Structure 1
Amino acid sequence: MHISFCCFLSLLGLGLFISISIIAATNEGIIIGGIVDNTTRIGKEERVAMEMALEDFNTNYKGNQSLILHVKNSSNKFPLQAALAAMDLINREGAEVILGLQTWEETSLVAEIGSQNHIPILSFSDLIPSWAKQNWPFLVATFPNQYAQAKAIASMVQSYEWHQVTVIYEDMDSSASKVISDLSHAFKQGGIETILVAIPPLDVVSLSKEIGRLKRDPCRVFVVHLSFPMALHLFEKAKMMNMMRKGYVWISTTSFSNLVHSINASTISSWMQGIIGVRSYLLTNDSKFHDFHIRFRKRFSLEHPEESNHEPGFYAVQAYNAVQIVAQAMRGKKMGGSILLEKILDGNFDGLTGKLHFINQGVAPANTFQIINMIGRSYRELGFWVDRLGFSETVDSHGNFSNSMKDLGQVFWPGGPINTPKGWDVSTNGKPLRFGVPARSIFNKYVKIQYDPDKNQTSITGLAIELFETVVEQLPFHLTYDLFPFNGTYDDLVKQIYLKNFDGVVGDVGIIANRYQYAEFTQPYTEPGLVMIVPLRSKTGNKTWLFLRPFTKAMWFLIGIINIYNGFVVWLIERNHCSELNGSALNQTGSLLWLSFSTFLSFHGERPRSNLSRMAMAVWLFVALVLTQIYTANLASILTVQGLEPTVTNIESLQSSNAKVGHTQASFVKSYLVNVLRFSPTNMKNYTSAADIANDLRNRVIAAVFFEVPAAKLFLAMYCKGFTMAGPTYKVGGYGFVFPKGSPLLPLVTEALLNVSESGKLRELEQSMLASQNCTQVDLEDDISSLSPSSFWALFLLTGSMSTVALLIYVSYGKPQQKSGPLLAEKVNWLTMWAVMLRSWSSNSRLVKLFSAKELSSNVGSPPIV
């Protein structure tokens, strides 16, 4: 309110000085007070309707007392006049109840007076906040709550897929904010961005300035919530500024639409073609209303010949119903104060358009509104909107309801009815849109900025730029735009949209939650995620001992044991026939070891004289041949196919080792590493060059670097032979294009981007970008397993058994005797066969020479040693 409580007390005191006692109603009638503004169309309609209502009641009711209506004039420009008129009606006229008061300023003043004097106040204002009824218990709202109107308008906007609206309202007081709050809430639930433009009351100059500014903005959907005189000024000014043409959408609330019947035909045809209005619903097909309509037009034309249109509107019906409510509550006996208030609030009355009842000191909220369209010299009724049901051409229970206003038929839009307006205009004043691009991209494959000093031109290329150009070609209209490099952080670049320095951003901009406070993003055009890149290392580890890799430790141990054992057996059998195997204990030990390991590869000494040692050595050399061939093959495989593995496999090992990690400087990755992955800021390093990152990874300056997935793919395409992804992929947004919040372009560009992606064009661009690096990704190989004794136990059992048999025979029979005969020849032939087989397996093996056929044949004629 714009008046203090002290002012109220002064007014009340003035009323007491004017009249000390209230003049009671006489037997001639009960006084009903009315306060209207006779200078406005609303006030004129209300006065005529109130007089008609009281006359109808007195005519139809045959009682002892009649009701008398005393109407005082007020002015919306001076609310104090309404307060003085109310005190005069109470103190001088003896009014038992007061009706009228079109504005909230008037209502707030008179409600205080009524509550002090226990006089019910029935206000016609549509801007009464809920808290007012608690402060003033004698205040009753007769205008239905209009919250559903906000939902109706939001449904209209959603029907045509407009994503942004500008609400123009008169900034009068806190009560007006309730309507704006309802509209904002309804739009938010529908995903519609709201721009609020407040106009000072009756300030035509400010209105003209705001209209000029709004013309320069791209939004073309306007919701007008102004008083009737201000709305007329607005539409006149909009027409003068060429804003009542094709592409614009104007939607008026009930504050204007409820009075369109009073506008002369020339004004409608000149200024208001194509306006859509939401109007309070009236049941006009009832016989009672039809009779009222005829009588009202006749009476109104006689009392107000200056008005060009004599139709009754919603305010006339509201005033008629209010008088009927009071009259029916007073019927039968004289009453006032709390009793009368209780009768009013608890009653169920017959109104001009049906039953009326009150909820929480107010008429039941309206849930039905009429949709009208200004066309030609008047308007036409498109249909209705019913809360929880939607749009329909009728309001009866058999109507076909729809969620879309499009089902009501063709709307006549400003500039012509052919095409539905887009709701925005990017070519305002013929200027192309300004899009910022990041100049600090670490990979110029997404955004590459080159300046030619000779031509004084800057060229901007890259995958993001080419993709945006392809997307723009998919739009159903021509979009003109310019690209401007921005040499700052990505967060600052997005913030430029909020500051209105750019109309959008094109580039490798990550979709991050905290950036949504400044702008909105399209769908990501890259794979989302944050990954870790680490160097690759050989799986062979230390190459100094690489020669031992073909066999396991157990295998080498067993080879050594079986060699010593076989050498011992041969040495023991041959020492009596070879002087080199005798001598001191040290000499014999050395001979034993030399014989064990040298015989594994070759035997240069004197050939065995004993058949027992020959038998043991034949099997021993066969096993040695197999082992050497397998060793050679496995070692060659290890050297030829070298396995690779990442140096780090998880972030836990990085954190536990206190290793340094890298990240790109112009990104959000640093905050994610600190706040989410809990890395210490002292262990992180910023980079602005991919080459520096690669060098520091190779030199172990940093143990790992963190990239967004698209950047990681590019880095690996550039340096794939030394690095790989490791660890999990952390869920973060990919790259997207950026637009202002609620931008009408956003859904259209997102749809076009999806079309480009589904057509395969985006994949082609990505593959072309990665292939241009001319580097093939290195695949990690599985480790090559070392061979264990489990694969050779049969060979070791064979050679060990044969040596053991020879040893047992030698020990059991002592010094051998010379023998000859068929058995000896058979043994010699058997050994000859083994030698031939060994020679065929490896012609280069010098071991087989010990058992060649020539050497064995020379011993056939001489007695062998057993």
Structure 2
Amino acid sequence: MQIDPVRIMVPLTSDIRQGSGTISYVELHNSRVETEMASRTIIIFLLLFFNITAAQNATETGPGTLNVGVILNLQSLVGKTAHTSILMAMEDLYSVHSSYRTKLVLHVRDSSGDDIQAASAAVDLLENYNAQAIIGPQKSSEAIFVSYLGNKSRVPVISFTATSPTLSSDNVPYFLRATLNDVAQVNCIAALIKAYGWREVVPIYEDTDYGRGIIPYLADALQEFGASMPYRSAISELANNDQVEHELYKLMTMQTRVYIVHMSSATASVLFMKAKELGMMSEMYAWILTDGIANIASSLNPSILEAMNGALGVRFYVPESKELDDFTARWNKRFKQDNPNDPPSQLSIFGLWSYDTIWALAQAADKVSMANATFQKQRHMKNLTCFGTLGISTIGPKLLEAILHNKFRGRSGDFDLENRQLQSSIFQIINVVGRGSKQIGFWTAKHGIIRQLDQNGSKTIHLNSMPDLNSVTWPGEVYRVPKGWQIPTNGKKLRVGVRISGYPEFMKVERDPITNATTATGYAIDVFEEVLKQLPYAVPYEYVAFDNEGVKSGSYNDFVYQVHLGIYDAAIGDITIRYNRTSYADFTLPYTESGVAMIVPVKNDKNKNTWVFLKPLTTDLWFGSIAFFIYTGIVIWLLERRINNAELTGSFFRQLGIAIYFSFFADRERVDSILSRLVVIVWVFVLLVITSSYTANLSSILTVQQLQPTVTDVHELLRKGEYVGYHKGSYVRDLLEALGFDRRNIRAYETSDDFIDALSKGSKNGGISAVIHEVPYIKIFLADHCKGYTMVGPIYKSEGFGFAFPKRSPMVNDFSRAILSITEGDAIIQIEKKWIGDQHACENDGTIASSSSLNFKSFSGLFVVTGIASTSALLIALVMLLYKNKHKIRNSIGSDQIRRGCGLRHINERNQESTIDSNQIQNMQLTVPNSEDDTCQQEIELSTEFTSSGSEVQTSQEFASHGTTSSGLQRNDKSA
């Protein structure tokens, strides 16, 4: 059906046979023609008449029909596409399902893109035509009000084009979105931004509910992927060419060159035509289209497509099939019939969604009884306006439930509105080339950016860090990925902040009295300018002195903070990369060495005096060695004393001297005990290590000139309460306070001469004992004052010097790569030689960590080993001694028992010789076991020998010591 945009068409009821179904079409188009008052009056009367006729027709549909309102902008490409698809859906539906009991009766209305007219059409459909469902409206702003009307009347409102996230079914449950929410595509866009390494993007959106709705979600997604929006460009849908041009000029003055376009096709057409005219479709720019434009890109005017050449786009992915190809061919033919005066158009996803929506509604309607399909009027509502006369559908809840549970495979793929909107996990990435578009890849929620899918969309080819997409033709017909940002040639120069340094070798700032221009020289300036040479693009810049702002004496924190405030576009110089500064600025990679160390005086300690032999070992090592000498000697003496070593005889002092001698010369003396030999082996090894180290260190002291630092440890300064110095304005003061230094012991100096003067006085004479400074400064100091000073440390870790840029500046990555290239090559060496000199020429330049004397801690492991060995041997010997004494006591007790028996036998024999009556002995009732005859014989012989020599009394006393019985026998013997 061709719609004349000039005339007003009256409602027309026509019967078109499609299979066994009858479809009634009532179409009304308002041309908004401004005519005279008489013409307007005639139109009003005609409208009233036709509304009455339409109401009568609606009542004649009967219980087997379902009135459906369709609200489209029939002047737009999307509206025309959807209208053709809806007509084809009705034809195909009832030719396939002729047995359906409920037939759809469509009432099409043209909103002409006007929100009020769309609302008016919805009221008319609900009040006069008893529409039980509304398809559309087309725009998100139109759908907001219509969805509230449908919610009030309990009539399902199904839109396949309203994608704004501000329109939520949570508030209006009778609103169904037969399309995708705009939020579904933000992760795809953000992944694409990250894949190409762009850090900043500018969204260009239509200043409507549709355009504004996606921006908060897009910002969150970009932030999650590491990108940001430095600016948001909103363009009114009613903006003329001059207003669009003005906004594009504003974008050209900014650095960001990546744009995300989210607007209707009409506004986007004006935008791209102007962008091409201004030269913004060139190789430095990147454009990304959201699905609102990408879905219909193939149907746009060829001149507009030509202006979009090189842009990327994301759109809903529709699986290919033979059925879809056949339908597309039929659709193209039908569209030409319906719109003969329009240029050829391609079937878009909106046409497929509108087609599937009709099928979903018809299938659901056939499951709901239409016997009582009426509207109940709300009696308690006052009819102050037309909204008060709206009734409540009796079948609306059942129809809504049937639609939500209806799932089928449609022309667009799986059609499921269970969550009140379509769900999709696959987007297609396209590239606008020439007068069409080509596919370059896909994005899925599960796998991210991928190159291709199989027919079912399940198998993927994963990408590496860079997107392995099909070849992309970028704006300007180039294949190199745009950098994404550029210093505007027609904008301001890069304002580079510089400040006077305490070391002119690093930074020296001067002002030309004639031109008033700021010039800067030094190590940092040479590095900065060398970096600019390494960049693949030109960066116009100018130096701005820090003292211009009246803060010449400000700290480096204040200097870096000027970048955060926007006073500088970058800050260069001897700026240390610190954690607190990264909260308001981004830094490049460091271009100098890192760390904080000490500058201390050195003394020529020749150590050639009388007691030089004591110097190799520290006091604690000397005393420790002596203590272990004595301990080892005592252990050896005890072990050898136990086995009666012949060497250990004589007085106590003689034996002690020999024992100590053992500890010194154990390897030369004879030791008999196996435990002593084990102790000696371990001790000889310890002596070997200590003597070798002592000999080597003593040789070094006697032969090499010793330039020793006066201080070797920062904690030694802290413990003694010494004064220390630092460079004025440096963060080192905070570091010293954090280490525990008293503020009164920290002194600030500005020049190297101040440092030398303070170090020469010393801490006790009003000076300082050490200067705490950063390593790059110390190198410069030692280059000029090589004699008499040295570096000790580093005592603290830092990141070195770097250049500061605003947060998320795209220049940081490029500068960092250039700095890395410089520091790895010969350029940085030449710059150091120019400003610092040859560092190897200074004999004092180096790191001295500690004294040359050997301390006890260095040999603590050896002393532990020898101590364990000696103590273990001593404990083993003690256990052996206790075990041996235990067996000796047992043997002594057995010997006493034998002696008692032998003594009785000996007395018996003597009494027989003296003619003593044997009955007396028998009365004693004492006997001697026969088993001990041999032993007793020996004892008796021994007793006889003693008796013959006149020692009977002594023998009797010896026997008396074995028991009272023996003593009694002695007394009896004497009395006899």
Structure 1 length-normalised TM: 0.69
CA distance in 2, matches of 1:651, 1:83: 81
The structural deviation recorded for 1:672 is 4.5
Instruction: State the one-letter code of the partner of 1:357.
Output: D
Closer, same or farther: CA 321–645 of 1 in aligned 2, 3 Å: same
1:490 aligns with 2:551: no
CA distance in 1, matches of 2:203, 2:454: 28
The structural deviation recorded for 1:455 is 9.3
Correspondent of 1:695 among 739, 757, 760: 757
1:425 aligns with 2:486: yes
Alignment correspondent of 1:111: 147
Instruction: State the one-letter code of the partner of 2:267.
Output: M
Contact 1:651 1:727 in 2 (8 A): no
Instruction: State the one-letter code of the partner of 2:545.
Output: P
CA distance in 2, matches of 1:651, 1:441: 29
CA distances 1:210-247 after superposition (whole Å, capped 9, x unpaired) = 21021122322222122222212211221221212232
Contact 2:163 2:180 in 1 (8 A): no
CA distances 1:40-79 after superposition (whole Å, capped 9, x unpaired) = 222222233223323322332212321112233335443x
The structural deviation recorded for 1:477 is 4.2
SS in 2 for 1:207: helix
- Where in structure 2 are the equivalents of 1:211-610 lying within 5 Å? 211-269=248-306, 271-283=307-319, 285-334=320-369, 336-358=395-417, 360-375=419-434, 377-387=435-445, 388=447, 390-393=449-452, 395-396=454-455, 397=458, 400=461, 402=463, 407-417=468-478, 419-426=480-487, 428-429=489-490, 433-437=494-498, 439-450=499-510, 459-487=519-547, 488=552, 489-534=555-600
Instruction: State the one-letter code of the partner of 1:316.
Output: G
Contact 1:124 1:319 in 2 (8 A): yes
- Where in structure 2 are the equivalents of 1:83-98 lying within 5 Å? 83-98=119-134
Alignment correspondent of 1:828: none
Closer, same or farther: CA 295–458 of 1 in aligned 2, 3 Å: closer
Closer, same or farther: CA 775–783 of 1 in aligned 2, 3 Å: closer
1:751 aligns with 2:751: no
Correspondent of 1:184 among 219, 225, 244: 219
Contact 1:536 1:723 in 2 (8 A): yes
Higher RCO (CA-CA < 8 Å; seq separation 6+): 1
Instruction: State the one-letter code of the partner of 2:269.
Output: L
Contact 1:371 1:382 in 2 (8 A): yes
CA distances 1:577-626 after superposition (whole Å, capped 9, x unpaired) = xxxxxxxxxxxxxxxxxxxxxxxxxxxxxxxxxxxxxxxxxxxxxxxxxx
The structural deviation recorded for 1:199 is 0.7
The structural deviation recorded for 1:166 is 2.2
- Where in structure 2 are the equivalents of 1:819-830 lying within 5 Å? none
SS in 2 for 1:771: coil
Contact 1:646 1:726 in 2 (8 A): no
CA distance in 2, matches of 1:729, 1:130: 58
Contact 2:431 2:473 in 1 (8 A): no
Instruction: State the one-letter code of the partner of 1:436.
Output: G
CA distance in 1, matches of 2:730, 2:159: 59
Instruction: State the one-letter code of the partner of 1:248.
Output: Y
Alignment correspondent of 1:813: none
SS in 1 for 2:169: helix
- Where in structure 2 are the equivalents of 1:629-644 lying within 5 Å? 644=708
Pick the structure with greater CA Rg. Answer: 2
- Where in structure 2 are the equivalents of 1:636-655 lying within 5 Å? 644-647=708-711, 649-651=713-715, 654=718
Instruction: State the one-letter code of the partner of 1:368.
Output: F
Contact 1:373 1:411 in 2 (8 A): no
Structure 2 length-normalised TM: 0.62
CA distances 1:434-468 after superposition (whole Å, capped 9, x unpaired) = 4332x221112222235566897765322222223
Contact 1:219 1:424 in 2 (8 A): yes
Contact 2:368 2:399 in 1 (8 A): no
Contact 1:276 1:374 in 2 (8 A): no
In the alignment, structure 2 segments of 5+ residues that lack a partner are 1-54, 371-394, 620-697, 856-976
Contact 1:199 1:206 in 2 (8 A): no
Question: Which piece of structure 1 moves more, 319-328 or 89-98?
Answer: 89-98
Contact 1:328 1:349 in 2 (8 A): no
1:99 aligns with 2:135: yes
CA distance in 2, matches of 1:682, 1:130: 63
CA distance in 2, matches of 1:146, 1:349: 23
CA distance in 1, matches of 2:578, 2:59: 73
Alignment correspondent of 1:573: none
CA distance in 2, matches of 1:753, 1:506: 13
Question: Which piece of structure 1 moves more, 389-398 or 255-264?
Answer: 389-398
CA distance in 2, matches of 1:135, 1:711: 66
CA distance in 2, matches of 1:233, 1:678: 67
The structural deviation recorded for 1:177 is 5.2
Instruction: State the one-letter code of the partner of 1:379.
Output: S
CA distances 1:820-844 after superposition (whole Å, capped 9, x unpaired) = xxxxxxxxxxxxxxxxxxxxxxxxx
Contact 1:663 1:705 in 2 (8 A): yes
1:66 aligns with 2:103: yes
Instruction: State the one-letter code of the partner of 1:694.
Output: I
Closer, same or farther: CA 109–534 of 1 in aligned 2, 3 Å: farther
Instruction: State the one-letter code of the partner of 1:302.
Output: Q
Contact 2:563 2:570 in 1 (8 A): yes
CA distance in 2, matches of 1:409, 1:325: 37
Closer, same or farther: CA 651–298 of 1 in aligned 2, 3 Å: same
Closer, same or farther: CA 105–445 of 1 in aligned 2, 3 Å: same
Closer, same or farther: CA 464–73 of 1 in aligned 2, 3 Å: same
The structural deviation recorded for 1:509 is 1.6
Contact 1:538 1:643 in 2 (8 A): yes
SS in 2 for 1:27: coil
Over the matched positions of the two proteins, sequence identity in percent amounts to 32
Closer, same or farther: CA 640–511 of 1 in aligned 2, 3 Å: closer
SS in 1 for 2:287: strand
Contact 1:33 1:99 in 2 (8 A): yes
Contact 1:643 1:782 in 2 (8 A): no
CA distance in 2, matches of 1:219, 1:343: 50
In the alignment, structure 1 segments of 5+ residues that lack a partner are 1-18, 555-633, 787-866
CA distance in 1, matches of 2:329, 2:343: 16
CA distance in 2, matches of 1:154, 1:650: 50
The structural deviation recorded for 1:493 is 3.7
How many residues are aligned here? 676
Instruction: State the one-letter code of the partner of 1:473.
Output: K
Closer, same or farther: CA 444–266 of 1 in aligned 2, 3 Å: same
Question: Which piece of structure 1 moves more, 445-454 or 505-514?
Answer: 445-454
Contact 1:286 1:353 in 2 (8 A): no
CA distance in 2, matches of 1:644, 1:295: 96
CA distances 1:560-579 after superposition (whole Å, capped 9, x unpaired) = xxxxxxxxxxxxxxxxxxxx
CA distances 1:262-294 after superposition (whole Å, capped 9, x unpaired) = 32223333x3232222222233x3233233323
CA distances 1:346-370 after superposition (whole Å, capped 9, x unpaired) = 3322311332223532211342224
CA distance in 1, matches of 2:59, 2:590: 77
Contact 1:534 1:647 in 2 (8 A): yes
